[in-house]
């Protein structure tokens, strides 16, 4: 099957699943967007297909794209650029039986050299996380993802300069507006949302959605996580460092991440033992006693990963259009775990109404403007709890404040860090600790 292909879906060249077709992208095609070849096939609900384009691997200096469109010919369902070197490959779980269109184009539009390609359309075995379910769509460019204490999803919309809240019923509301290009998100020890912004600031957002500048001494704060002790970790792209802040936002330590290579440190998560893990976009490293140690190297691009309680790591691989599952040592457990996502960039486990982390995995899918959920039947373990965990009761903290035993030196330092960090545990720190527990009079329970 070869020849000049159609530039419009309505006259797409038919192709059967399991077949390969050849075509050529022509530099001087009449389409102002460049030559676009459409191929049509019938997809059966419940199956998963893969579209693969071979061109660069033939030795050509080219950069083709492939996209999948729904039966209306205009709704883009999935897109891929560079899954296999410069060649694209995407997977998609078909939910509705019907006609689908594969579109092949290239990076340089109508100004590049003409080149031949081969398109493979095949059925593949989906992962345990398939099929996916769309939980929210039309979100602009959703990137960062954090899950609130009652299970609502908080999503940074880079294009809309806002954070949206997605309820368990799928209702989407703007939670905080006016935060320029939000990147990483995490809830701090007081239950307020921290948002790293491309303007160089980490904002702190109250439960009412009021955002104020919180951390301003990082050049380019990128990703952010809060440890169980309430300390804040963030990666700073400007000097390629991993930084640790007190719960009150005071810089405590800075670790040079240049040595880990790649473009890291980038996305960040707190591991099972409380240590920070970072990605350099192809590898995951962890910080132990101030030193970075490589956990594993992946063959494809890695974005914002998440741990389950067993220490397994769910890794979104946006250029490959899938989510992978590794154990804590980096051994592949399931790949693909899910192929339904288009270009997933951040994953996070859900929480129930009590705040407990559950075996539900969500992901942002920015190219498609949506938040998706993997098939919960395929998620073996609940997520590792994220964020601050109160180490003792208010009564225990009060007893320590009022002269009783029971708080260690480290506990007192921690409480001082939560509060006014004046070098000792005092009543201001106690008030701050109650606030983190929603324990102040009039606080929500």
Q: Which residues bind another protein (CB under 8 A)?
A: 394-395, 398-399, 401-404, 419-420, 422, 426-432, 434, 439-442
Smallest distance from another protein to CB 196, Å: 24
Euclidean distance between CA atoms 317 and 303, whole angstroms: 6
Cβ-based nearer residue to another protein, 214 or 296 = 214
Helix axes 427-436, 409-418, angle to 10 degrees: 70
Of 50, 52, 62, the C-alpha closest to 25 is: 62
- Half-sphere exposure at residue 425, Cβ-oriented, CA atoms within 13 angstroms: 19
Euclidean distance between CA atoms 51 and 103, whole angstroms: 10
Cβ-based nearer residue to another protein, 94 or 248 = 248
Cβ-based nearer residue to another protein, 109 or 394 = 394
Give strand pairing partners of 316.
Answer: 323
Smallest distance from another protein to CB 293, Å: 37
Tokens representing residue 331 in the block: 């051994």
Cβ-based nearer residue to another protein, 380 or 434 = 434
Euclidean distance between CA atoms 269 and 306, whole angstroms: 7
Smallest distance from another protein to CB 404, Å: 6
Smallest distance from another protein to CB 413, Å: 16
Cβ-based nearer residue to another protein, 81 or 416 = 416
Cβ distance 302 to 264 under 8 Å? no
Euclidean distance between CA atoms 123 and 117, whole angstroms: 20
Q: Would residue 382 be called left, alpha or beta, if left means φ above 0 and alpha means ψ between -120 and 50 degrees?
A: beta
Euclidean distance between CA atoms 295 and 120, whole angstroms: 34
Smallest distance from another protein to CB 48, Å: 53
Q: Helices (H), strands (E): how many in the chain?
A: 3, 33
Cβ-based nearer residue to another protein, 57 or 424 = 424
Smallest distance from another protein to CB 150, Å: 23
Cβ-based nearer residue to another protein, 27 or 437 = 437
Euclidean distance between CA atoms 54 and 4, whole angstroms: 17
Cβ-based nearer residue to another protein, 21 or 419 = 419
Q: Pairing state of beta strands 357-365 and 221-226?
A: unpaired
DSSP one-letter string for 160-221 = TTEEEEE-TT--EEEEEE--SSEEEEEE-TTSPEEEEETTS-EEEE-TT--EEEEE---SSE
Cβ-based nearer residue to another protein, 290 or 442 = 442
Smallest distance from another protein to CB 188, Å: 14
Smallest distance from another protein to CB 205, Å: 18
Euclidean distance between CA atoms 315 and 313, whole angstroms: 6
Q: Pairing state of beta strands 13-14 and 37-43?
A: parallel
Smallest distance from another protein to CB 414, Å: 14
Cβ-based nearer residue to another protein, 359 or 401 = 401
Smallest distance from another protein to CB 176, Å: 21
User: Which 3 state secondary structure label does DSSP give 9?
Assistant: helix
Interacting residues of 58 by C-beta distance below 8 A, sequence separation 6+: 116
């Amino acid at each position: 099957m070869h020849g000049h292909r159609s530039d419009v879906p309505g006259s797409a060249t038919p192709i059967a699943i399991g077949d390969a077709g050849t075509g050529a992208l022509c530099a001087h095609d009449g389409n102002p967007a460049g030559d676009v070849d459409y191929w049509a096939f019938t997809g059966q609900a419940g199956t998963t297909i893969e579209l693969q384009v071979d061109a660069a691997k033939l030795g050509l200096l080219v950069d083709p794209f492939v996209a999948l469109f729904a039966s209306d010919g205009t709704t883009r369902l999935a897109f891929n650029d560079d899954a296999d070197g410069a060649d694209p490959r995407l997977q998609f779980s078909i939910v509705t039986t019907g006609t689908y269109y594969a579109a092949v184009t290239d990076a340089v539009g109508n100004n590049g050299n003409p080149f031949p390609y081969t398109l493979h359309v095949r059925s593949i075995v989906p992962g345990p996380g398939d099929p996916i379910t769309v939980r929210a769509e039309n979100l602009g460019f959703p990137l960062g993802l954090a899950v609130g204490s009652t299970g609502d999803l908080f999503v940074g919309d880079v294009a809309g300069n806002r954070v949206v809240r997605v309820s368990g019923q799928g209702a989407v509301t703007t939670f905080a507006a006016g935060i320029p290009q939000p990147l990483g998100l995490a809830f701090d020890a007081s239950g307020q949302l921290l948002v790293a912004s491309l303007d160089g600031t980490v904002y702190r957002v109250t439960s009412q959605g009021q955002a104020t500048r919180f951390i301003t001494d990082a050049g380019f704060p990128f990703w952010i996580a809060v440890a169980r002790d309430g300390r804040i970790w963030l990666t700073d792209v400007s000097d390629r460092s991993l930084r640790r802040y007190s719960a009150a936002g005071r810089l405590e330590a800075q670790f040079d991440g240049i040595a880990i290579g790649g473009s890291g440190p980038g996305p960040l998560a707190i591991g099972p033992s409380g240590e920070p893990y970072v990605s350099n976009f192809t590898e995951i490293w962890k910080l132990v006693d101030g030193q970075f140690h490589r956990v594993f190297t992946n063959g494809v691009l890695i974005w914002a990963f998440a741990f389950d309680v067993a220490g397994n790591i769910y890794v979104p691989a946006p250029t490959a259009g899938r989510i992978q599952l590794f154990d804590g040592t980096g051994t592949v457990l399931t790949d693909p775990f899910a192929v339904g996502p288009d270009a997933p960039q951040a994953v996070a486990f859900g929480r129930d109404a009590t705040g407990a982390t559950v075996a539900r995995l969500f992901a942002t899918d920015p190219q498609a403007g949506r938040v998706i959920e993997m098939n919960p039947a395929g998620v073996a373990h609940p997520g590792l709890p994220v964020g601050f965990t109160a180490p003792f009761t208010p009564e225990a903290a009060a007893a320590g404040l009022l002269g009783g035993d029971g708080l260690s030196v480290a506990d007192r330092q921690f409480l001082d860090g939560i509060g006014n960090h004046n070098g000792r545990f005092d009543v201001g720190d106690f008030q701050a600790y109650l606030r983190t527990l929603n324990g102040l009079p009039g606080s929500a329970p």
